[in-house]
Amino acid sequence: MPRIAYVNGRYTSAAEACVHIEDRGYQFGDGVYEVCLVVDGAYWDEEGHLARLDRSLKALSIARPMSERALKTVMAALVRKNRLKTALVYIQVTRGVASRNHPFPEKKVAPSLVMTARAFNLEKSEQQAAAGVDVITAPDIRWGRVDIKTINLLPNVLAKQEAQKAGAAEAWLVKGDTVTEGASSNAWIVTRDGELVTHPLSNEILGGITRQAVIECAEALQMRIVERAFTTEEAVNAAEAFLTSATGLVMPVVRIDGKPIGEGKPGPVSRRLRNAYIDRWAVR
């Protein structure tokens, strides 16, 4: 069955889907996006993702393409049309189509809305989590407002490519000697004293929706959480490390730059948090 995409009001074959060559997303990266996970028809953290989409649009003064209710309707229809039960739904909104000029268009233009859905293999993710993943470190060369989830991802792409070349799953980005976050995830360590540490919210990181959900899970489990910056040295010497994202959920990290973390295998804290996060939605 051919994949179905949604493009500016129309459901169409993904192979034939297209946008105008002067769409500002294509010309300038002038747009934002979100990725939502659907498991057995249930949308995990949907409200958080849509709220962040709205914040990103407001930060860039891009008009909402439709109401939240309509957006949810399109998302559900897209998953259904692709005959998926467990999927990743990608939502992208750009400022729209206008003659190429750096300032915002003088005349009002309609924002462009594109959505796609593809299968997500939760069983494969579980297998990956059971083994743990490697990460590398890379310089954080992104712009100064990464708290806005824009489609300007070239630095992230370059870091991910270096990770892939090294046989790692992710790159943790570093400013000075401080880890900010992953190229597509938030970074965490568990100290030898049992504290969960992750970078505080600021314009230096994207406030992950899964990150916040995991904080809530940790609080429910009465774990100690400290939102502060941590160094690469702290990370390498930590008892455990893990990353959080919509696609990785809670993913244990077992090596950083080839150096084993803790015992070099997924630790009890990250495993417990992953189970708690999955249970948070599985029981609903």
Cα distances (angstroms) measured from residue 164 to each of 66, 133, 157: 37, 12, 10
How far is Cα 27 from Cα 20, in angstroms, rounded to an integer? 10
Give catalytic status of residue 175 as yes or no. no
Tell me which of 72, 107, 108, 149 is the catalytic residue: 149
Q: Which residues are catalytic?
A: 149
